[in-house]
Structure 1
Amino acid sequence: MKRAVVLLSGGLDSAVALYLAKSRGFEIHALSFDYGQRHDRELHAAKAIAQEAGVAAHQVVSLKLDQWGGSSLTDKSMEVENGDVTRQDIPVTYVPARNMVFLSVAASYAEAIQATEIFIGVSQVDYSGYVDCRQEFIEAMENAVNKGTVMGAEQNRPIRIHAPFVHKTKAEEIQLGRELGVPFELTWSCYRGGEKPCETCDSCLLRAKAFAEAGIEDKALTR
């Protein structure tokens, strides 16, 4: 069975990406990050999803990006602003180069376990403000990974970065996730943490909009 490294934040996108990779017959090695984010709810969600999916391994890597902040997700002196689903500017929740860092670590992990596939659940459709969620970035990272790994540069065993939702809406992801049996009730999207989702931050509003468009109840709100 071929191995795949799946970036698992504990959120909606990464959970569907994991179940998609699983449906394609890959042995799943999930990778999550404790990067100094303002709450640990998403890490608890990632653990629950990995367990429910029966992954081969789940690694949690500590990377303290809060040492320099630059985002309301890693700097508690900054406020998480209320959401705006029509936003076109880069929001304060953008964590500088986060996906670049995460994919670099994923490439190291993949080469160490001889996995040729990496899955990441980014999309540029619903949220173009995040520059590291765009197809051109994913393609550039895949090229860099294969220039900087023995597997890619010397062994002719390139590592492929899959971003299956890069041109899909969240509603389309949710519809696919329902078909794949994704336990949406275990996922966490809220930027603010807490006992229940705030339902007012960007991530909560985008999630609500997507479930409404998909015509599916979000059971995470009724747990």
Structure 2
Amino acid sequence: MSAQVSVKRAVVILSGGLDSTTCMGIAKEAGYELYPISFDYGQRHKIEIENAKQVAAHYGVAQRHKIIKLDFLRDFGGSALTDDSIDVPNVTESEQTDEIPVTYVPGRNLLFLSIATSYAEVTGSSAIYIGVNALDYSGYPDCRPEFIHKVEEVIELATKVGVEGKGIKIETPLIDWTKARIIEEGLKIGVPYELTTSCYNGKAEACGVCDSCRLRLKGFEEAGAKDPIPYL
């Protein structure tokens, strides 16, 4: 009689962007069965949802891909990504201030991780992968290691699996990587960057000048690779 093989499962918070797609590839390489989850929160760059669908299909898990609507974040506004009255900053504007960028969406990662925890518990997943990065996005309070550790503590207290001592680990493999290293590691494992988007302006062709585009282009340049997506 053959021994039963234990299946490792992981929820991946998949935006359709470069970082979250790299996390998807890393989770796959680590031997996890993937359960991607994406959020339609009224973001200006809603096109990323279609990219997330393509990434999920690429990894053969489209049937497990959950897309959750959080319309109230657009109702709340308060971010350049959810409020059309606030402009997405260009390179010059974003480099002139040390304040938290206007592209920060209040409570976004806290909400995402809470909902991902529910999906993880239902699917029997032992890990949640999220592509937070404290190096390139140091202005975002919900991308810091301290935040991730506190959420893990809450998960342990607030879930059945946590009380039973099994737990759910939040995996943040990119948290202290440069964009160049993220791309280098992703290319090694065949991450489909041609299916991703990073532009905050949400057009079919990336603008090339918003913070997110700038960081992406710089990362590809430093990695010695060509970005496969189209730019204006």
- 8 Å CA contact 1:83–1:203 kept in 2: the answer is no
2:133 counterpart (116, 123, 135):
123
Spell out the pairing of 1:44-193 with structure 2 (5 A cutoff). 44-55=50-61, 57-64=64-71, 65-84=73-92, 86=95, 88-153=98-163, 155-193=164-202
2:9 counterpart (3, 11, 15):
3
Q: In 1, distance between residues paired with 2:173 and 2:180? A: 14
Shift of 1:195: 2.1
In structure 2, what residue type is equivalent to 1:39? H
The secondary structure found in structure 2 opposite 1:220 is: coil
Higher Rg of the two aligned structures: 2
Shift of 1:53: 1.2
Note the residue ranges of structure 1 that are not aligned, 5 or more in a row. Answer: none
Spell out the pairing of 1:197-208 with structure 2 (5 A cutoff). 197-208=206-217
Q: In 1, distance between residues paired with 2:91 and 2:189? A: 29
In structure 1, what residue type is equivalent to 2:175? V
TM-score, length of structure 2 as denominator length: 0.92
Total equivalences in the alignment: 222
The secondary structure found in structure 2 opposite 1:25 is: coil
- Percent identity, aligned pairs only, is 49
The secondary structure found in structure 1 opposite 2:91 is: coil
Q: In 2, distance between residues paired with 1:34 and 1:59? A: 10
1:28 alignment counterpart: 34
Q: In 2, distance between residues paired with 1:100 and 1:115? A: 19
Shift of 1:18: 0.3
* CA deviation string 1:22-58 (max 9, x = no partner): 0111100000000111232100100001101112610
Q: In 2, distance between residues paired with 1:135 and 1:170? A: 17
In structure 1, what residue type is equivalent to 2:82? T
In structure 1, what residue type is equivalent to 2:23? A
- 8 Å CA contact 1:88–1:128 kept in 2: the answer is no
Q: In 1, distance between residues paired with 2:204 and 2:111? A: 29
Q: In 2, distance between residues paired with 1:103 and 1:195? A: 28
TM-score, length of structure 1 as denominator length: 0.96
* CA deviation string 1:126-173 (max 9, x = no partner): 1201111111111111111111001002x1111000001111111100
* CA deviation string 1:65-87 (max 9, x = no partner): 11111101011121111125756
Note the residue ranges of structure 2 that are not aligned, 5 or more in a row. Answer: 1-6
- Root-mean-square deviation (CA, aligned residues, Å) is 1.5
2:19 counterpart (13, 21, 30):
13
In structure 2, what residue type is equivalent to 1:98? R
Q: In 1, distance between residues paired with 2:219 and 2:230? A: 14
Q: In 2, distance between residues paired with 1:165 and 1:119? A: 10
- 8 Å CA contact 1:30–1:59 kept in 2: the answer is yes
- 8 Å CA contact 2:45–2:199 kept in 1: the answer is no
2:230 alignment counterpart: 221
